[in-house]
Amino acid sequence: MLLSDLITTLLLICSLPFFLAGTLGLLRFPDLYCRLHALTKADNLGLGLVVLALMIQADSWQVVIRLLLTWLLVLVAGATVAHLIARKAQQDGHQPWRR
């Protein structure tokens, strides 16, 4: 087993808990705002680790840039959509959950 394969495997394994955390947060967190936190931050980190793992396996640097662009687009889309949903919720008067 090559060292690069080992690093890829490790990164992919590390990404799994974050994807799971995103979904777990979506199910467990008490209100819309908290769920948005889980979806944006945990999934972005999970995807970032997957992208990093695949970059190591890339044959050409065009693939590396393509992977990087994929991550950046998801990052921008995720943050923008989260903001739009939160803004709509604010304007509709959704009160955040309090302990």
Partner 1 sequence: MSVVTFRWSRFILRLGGCLFLWWVLTGGRASSWIIGVPTIALALWVMEAAPQTHPWRISFAGLLRFIPYFLLQSLRGGIDVARRAYSPRLPLDPQIIDFPLNLPPGPAQVFFLNSVSLLPGTLSADLNGTTLKVHLLDHKIDPQLDQLETRVAALFKCSLRGGDD
Q: Minimum Å distance from CB 35 to partner 1?
A: 10
Judged by CB under 8 A, the residue of 11, 18, 53, 55 near partner 1 is 18
Q: Put residue 29 in one of left, alpha, beta given phi > 0 → left and psi -120 to 50 → alpha.
A: beta
Judged by CB under 8 A, the residue of 8, 40, 50, 53 near partner 1 is 40
DSSP state string for 57-98: H-SSHHHHHHHHHHHHHHHHHHHHHHHHHHHHHHHTTPPPP-
56 makes contact with partner 1 (CB under 8 A): no
72 makes contact with partner 1 (CB under 8 A): no
What is the radius of gyration, based on Cα positions, of the chain?
Answer: 17
13 makes contact with partner 1 (CB under 8 A): no
38 makes contact with partner 1 (CB under 8 A): yes
Q: Measure the CA–CA gap between 93 and 24, rounded to whole angstroms.
A: 26
Q: Minimum Å distance from CB 82 to partner 1?
A: 5
Q: Measure the CA–CA gap between 13 and 11, rounded to whole angstroms.
A: 5
User: What tokens were used for 59?
Assistant: 């044959």
Residues that bind partner 1 in the complex, under the rule CB under 8 A: 17-18, 21-22, 24-25, 28-31, 33-34, 36-38, 40-42, 44-46, 48, 60, 62, 65-66, 69, 75-76, 78-80, 82-83, 86-87, 89-91, 96-99
